[in-house]
Amino acid sequence: MQERTLVTAENSRTPVHIDRLYKSFGQLNAVDGVSFTMEPGSVTALLGGNGAGKTTTIAMILGLIVPTSGSVKVFGTDMAQNRHKVLGRINFESPYVDMPMRLTVRQNLDVFGRLYGLRDIKERIAELAEEFRLNDILDRGVGKLSSGQKTRISLAKALLNHPELLLLDEPTASLDPDTADWVRERLEAYRKSSNAAVLLASHNMLEVERLADRVILLDRGRIYADGSPDALIKEYGKTDLEAVFLEIVRGRDAARKGNQEDSGIV
């Protein structure tokens, strides 16, 4: 008989628990043995170059992609099997995922509010419109808005259901420095007030240093560094996280090139 993992009161409070996670696409190991756990109120940054496995990992946390092996549990629930049980407690934001362009901002937020099962949709939209400076564009079509405006709408949508786990993919992309800083303040305030766990994928190292208390660096689907920003900066003897990132990625690229040359592969 196949064993079943019981959802206890303890592990049902754990936002994310990933155990020996693998995902292969043909011969490509997009995620290769990743394991980590997130606690309530924590902010974990996933870093890595293009093709490092960040997006695939997030997709498996959301239950959009089924792992080749290993497990992803969100609040104690296996996302490959029963994601519907916890989807109301999580949310996702990426400026690269478009909302329906023909609908107005208000209509979009209303539709998503209904999908999340909100009872006070109008009140929640009014709160977020005030907080994210959307009142002047609530009745404009999303397709007519600037990329920065769309990003603010996407962030407002991500907070509609008061998520306990928030997944962010480049949350301040396309925003000017002032607006980006303002958005970071909103995210920090939300995390503190809600004790939500936040998983952040970003190429903005200053943003990561400001928001994250933990950094996981992925390279070709594997974890090659894991620690607080300050600890990693100290460990690698650098002045900032960007220098650490370049040191690790370029060092591994050089090592791979050297191994190929030694084996006669050019």
| Chain segment 150-174, per-residue pLDDT in tens | 888 999 999 999 999 999 998 888 7
Q: Flag residues of the chain having pLDDT under 50.
A: 1-5, 7, 9-10, 255, 257, 260, 266
Q: What is the pLDDT of residue 39?
A: 96
Q: Which amino acid is at 265?
A: I
Give the domain ranges of the chain.
11-262
The pTM score is 0.87
Q: At what angle do helices 105-115 and 147-158 cross, to 10 degrees?
A: 20
Sheet holding 69-74, edge to edge: 28-38, 16-25, 69-74, 77-78
Q: Tell me, which fold does domain 11-262 have in CATH?
A: Rossmann fold (3.40.50)
